[in-house]
């Protein structure tokens, strides 16, 4: 009976070891984020949208825990793993692959912005449109717009990136341009000479 139990335990440990040795290694690219769920949980938001919880050697995993850091890792899925957060698929990190991320040009759009000027408690001026979108000024607006409730109707250049704002608005107003109405030339009368 003892030999049967020992044989079963040996087979079970060997199959678990062989499963972990031959598990499919995957490469994951994404951005690290921190959630306040269950006292604080770190997860990797994959570039494809899938979330991963990272486990493994603390010397590898802890340096990855920087909010907003883009990383690329080699990992293996953890079968039958459980965590307190349950925020994504659990993977064991094998190594970090350093990559170079090149700067991108953020989208800047010329827009005729129509709305009402407001100001936050921290002193940031912004325009709220009738569609519910808000755009903050990079620099204080022109003097005529520096009052709450002023109607704003200007051609502006907007940086369409929420991460570039101070207050989480929909974008940043980079510059204002005055509407300049060019006087029309008078039509010449037809001279039939």
Clarify whether residues 38 and 90 are in a common domain: yes
pLDDT band at 152 (very low <50, low <70, confident <90, very high): very high
pLDDT band at 178 (very low <50, low <70, confident <90, very high): low
Clarify whether residues 73 and 129 are in a common domain: no
Q: What is the CATH number of the domain that holds 119?
A: 2.40.50
Clarify whether residues 28 and 88 are in a common domain: yes
Clarify whether residues 88 and 56 are in a common domain: yes
Q: What is the CATH number of the domain that holds 53?
A: 2.40.50.500
Q: Would residue 85 count as lying in a domain?
A: yes
Clarify whether residues 47 and 73 are in a common domain: yes
CA atoms within 13 A on the CB side of 159: 18
If you ran DSSP here, which 8-state letter would residue 121 be given?
Answer: T
**Over 60: is that where the pLDDT of 50 sits?**
yes
Clarify whether residues 84 and 129 are in a common domain: no
The per-residue pLDDT for 125 is 94
Q: Would residue 155 count as lying in a domain?
A: yes
Q: Would residue 122 count as lying in a domain?
A: yes
Clarify whether residues 89 and 34 are in a common domain: yes
Q: Of 42, 69, 96, at which residue does a domain stop?
A: 96
CB atoms within 10 A of CB 30: 20
C-alpha–C-alpha distance, residues 80 and 45, integer Å: 21
Q: Would residue 14 count as lying in a domain?
A: no
Domain of residue 163: give its range.
Answer: 108-177
**Over 90: is that where the pLDDT of 2 sits?**
no
Clarify whether residues 117 and 74 are in a common domain: no
**Which stretch of DSSP H or E encloses residue 10?**
helix 2-21
Q: Would residue 80 count as lying in a domain?
A: yes
Structural domains in the chain (count): 2
Clarify whether residues 59 and 124 are in a common domain: no
Clarify whether residues 135 and 155 are in a common domain: yes
Clarify whether residues 116 and 146 are in a common domain: yes
The per-residue pLDDT for 36 is 82
C-alpha–C-alpha distance, residues 117 and 12, integer Å: 69
Clarify whether residues 117 and 90 are in a common domain: no
The per-residue pLDDT for 78 is 92
Task: State CA 124 to chain mean position distance.
Answer: 22
Which single residue is written with the structure tokens 């499963």?
19
66-80, 129-143, 176-190: least confidently modelled range: 176-190
Mean per-residue pLDDT for 51-70? Answer: 89
Rg from Cα positions in the chain: 29
C-alpha–C-alpha distance, residues 69 and 64, integer Å: 8
The per-residue pLDDT for 148 is 94
CB atoms within 10 A of CB 58: 8
Which single residue is written with the structure tokens 């094998």?
94
Of 148, 156, 154, 151, the residue nearest 125 (C-alpha): 148
């Amino acid at each position: 009976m003892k030999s049967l139990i020992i044989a079963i335990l040996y087979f079970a440990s060997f199959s678990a070891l062989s499963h972990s040795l031959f598990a499919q290694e995957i490469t994951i690219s994404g951005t690290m984020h921190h959630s306040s769920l269950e006292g604080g949980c770190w997860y990797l938001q994959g570039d494809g949208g899938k979330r991963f919880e990272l486990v493994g050697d603390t010397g590898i995993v802890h340096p990855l825990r920087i909010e907003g850091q883009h990383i690329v890792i080699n990992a293996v899925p953890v079968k039958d793993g459980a965590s307190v957060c349950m925020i994504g698929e659990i993977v064991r990190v094998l190594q970090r692959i350093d990559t170079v991320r090149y700067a991108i040009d953020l989208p800047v759009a010329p827009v005729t912005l129509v709305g009402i000027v407001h100001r936050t408690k921290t002193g940031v001026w912004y325009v709220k449109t009738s569609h519910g979108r808000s755009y903050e000024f990079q620099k204080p607006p022109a003097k005529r717009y520096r009052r709450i409730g002023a109607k704003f109707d200007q051609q502006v250049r907007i940086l369409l990136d929420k991460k570039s704002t101070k207050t989480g608005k929909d974008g940043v107003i980079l510059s204002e341009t005055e509407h300049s109405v060019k006087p029309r030339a008078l039509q010449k009368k037809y001279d039939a000479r």
